[in-house]
Amino acid sequence: MTDTTSCQSPALDDASLSADEARQRMLDSVAPITHAEKVPVRNALGRILAADVIAPYDVPAHDNSAMDGYAVRFESLASDGETALSVVGSAFAGNAFSGLVGRGQAVRIMTGAVLPAGADTVVVQEVTRVTGNTVFVPAGQKQGQNTRRAGEDLARNAIALPAGKRLGPAELGLIASLGIAELSVRRRLRVAFFSTGDELASIGSPLAPGEIYDSNRYTLYGLLTRLGAEIIDLGVVPDRAEALEAALREAAEIADAIITTGGVSVGEADFIREILARLGHIGFWKLKIKPGRPMAFGRIGHAWLFGLPGNPVSVMVSYAQFALDALLRLSGVDPLPVRPLLPVAAANAIRKQPGRREYLRGRVTEVDGRWQVFTLPHQGSGILRSMSEANCLVVLSEACAGVQPGEAVDVQLFDGLY
């Protein structure tokens, strides 16, 4: 019987570098870029705050109504039966009632309108009945109901958004609600990247015998564009030591981070290490994972190096599981301590031997009212089409010894990951 929990358990101790160890080593090594710049709010989507955004006043600025109805004094309402109140005016958003609501009185009020002086409660219009200038309020109302208090969302001088926050649509709206037109953000992270391999051809040209089109640079271009980085594409570098060294030197001069694809497999690791030993240092180049076992991490000058494998699926897995969080930290964002995983029932059996973490392409779908995940039939690291067909990665821990249908497995949804 397969252990149903082992496929979600923590990593086993192993002499090789585990996925968790590699991720933590990278995060412990890198530090955020420090240079900041001012940008208009409309240009700030996806940018990283360089300083706290401070609320210049209370939000909302005034006590106001959360519903359409009648603003009243709670003390005017009877505890039993209906209360008849005299309607003495109206309050609209942007057009407040200037008088005082006295005992036995009510003001017709719309959502967002300033709560009139003397009123502390709003009765929704749906529960009332009106005859002429008299509104009848049923029993059972609660003091302060349907009101929004000044500073309820943000108090004046409070931190509205902390430094290091990545700005999305909600954040832009929040900043605009504070009347702030310009803000300080970190400059964009500069990332240089290139592919290695004599067999790689550029798209748009015919393939010679033995050549393949270079897809990795286009995948990385998409990933880095979503990251919001300043992208520096250095093209394809031949499998020659002098060419690789020249490309790495150039990249280190102009970028904060360097991403390469290919040239870090076991058969070529000594070659890569020799070059990196001259130019900087390498932290690791072999992980206990599948796909993506060969991956280099190190530093050349002031630039961090992420040497990804050459197979297209391995590029995406290595980027999402390791390089992405390190790049976020370089950008000024603190990644989540643990990458979110969702438990989902496996729809099919999965074969696996203990000892390494595996990332399988899967598709989460609803079957008879229950969410299940199917692993795709073709899991080769060169089958990029499977990444387009999948909507998640099934993450099997180092301890996992196989999965039976119906057992829980951890999945990472692609939404927000790629």
CA–CA gap between residue 144 and residue 127 (Å, rounded)? 16
Phi, psi of 405 (to 5 degrees): -55, 135
pLDDT at 403: 97
Residue 81 lies in a domain: yes
Residue 31 lies in a domain: yes
Contact 109, 116 (CB under 8 A): yes
Residue 116 shares a structural domain with residue 264:
no
Per-residue buried b or exposed e for 381-408, using 16+ beta carbons within 10 Å of the residue's own CB = bebbebbeebbbbbbbbbbbebbeeebb
Query: Per-residue pLDDT for 16 more than 80?
Result: no
Residue 247 shares a structural domain with residue 121:
no
Residue 181 shares a structural domain with residue 301:
no
Full 3-state SS string of 92-105: ECCECCCCECCCCE
Higher-pLDDT residue of 261 and 1 is 261
Query: Per-residue pLDDT for 282 more than 90?
Result: no
Residue 214 shares a structural domain with residue 78:
no
Query: Per-residue pLDDT for 366 more than 50?
Result: yes
Residue 47 shares a structural domain with residue 137:
no
Residue 49 lies in a domain: yes
pLDDT at 12: 37
**Mean pLDDT over each residue of the chain, to the nearest integer:** 91
Residue 157 lies in a domain: no
Point out which residues pair with 186 in neighbouring strands: 36
Q: Which two tokens stand for residue 398?
A: 């180092």
Query: Per-residue pLDDT for 14 more than 80?
Result: no
Q: Residue 183: helix, strand or coil by DSSP? A: strand
pLDDT at 58: 93
Query: Per-residue pLDDT for 257 more than 90?
Result: yes
Residue 364 shares a structural domain with residue 290:
yes
Residue-wise pLDDT tens digits, 300-331 = 999 999 999 989 999 999 999 999 999 999 99
| Number of separate domains in the chain | 3
Residue 154 lies in a domain: no
DSSP 14-45: -SSBPHHHHHHHHHHH------EEEEEGGG-T
Query: Per-residue pLDDT for 202 more than 90?
Result: no
Amino acid identity, position 109: I
Query: Per-residue pLDDT for 226 more than 50?
Result: yes
pLDDT at 353: 94
Q: Report the CATH number at residue 244.
A: 3.40.980.10
Point out which residues pair with 212 in neighbouring strands: 200
Residue 404 shares a structural domain with residue 277:
yes
Residue-wise pLDDT tens digits, 18-28 = 999 999 999 99
Region of poorest pLDDT, from 73-77, 89-93, 140-144, 290-294: 290-294
Residue 300 shares a structural domain with residue 194:
yes
Query: Per-residue pLDDT for 6 more than 80?
Result: no
Contact 49, 56 (CB under 8 A): no
Can you give the residue range of the structural domain that contains 170? 37-57+166-186
Q: Nearest CA to 4 among 418, 408, 411?
A: 408
Residue 161 lies in a domain: no
Residue 407 lies in a domain: yes
Residue-wise pLDDT tens digits, 335-363 = 888 888 999 999 999 999 999 999 999 99
Residue 368 shares a structural domain with residue 230:
yes
Given pLDDT bands bounded at 50, 70 and 90, which one contains residue 197? confident
Residue 25 shares a structural domain with residue 78:
no
Query: Per-residue pLDDT for 4 more than 60?
Result: no
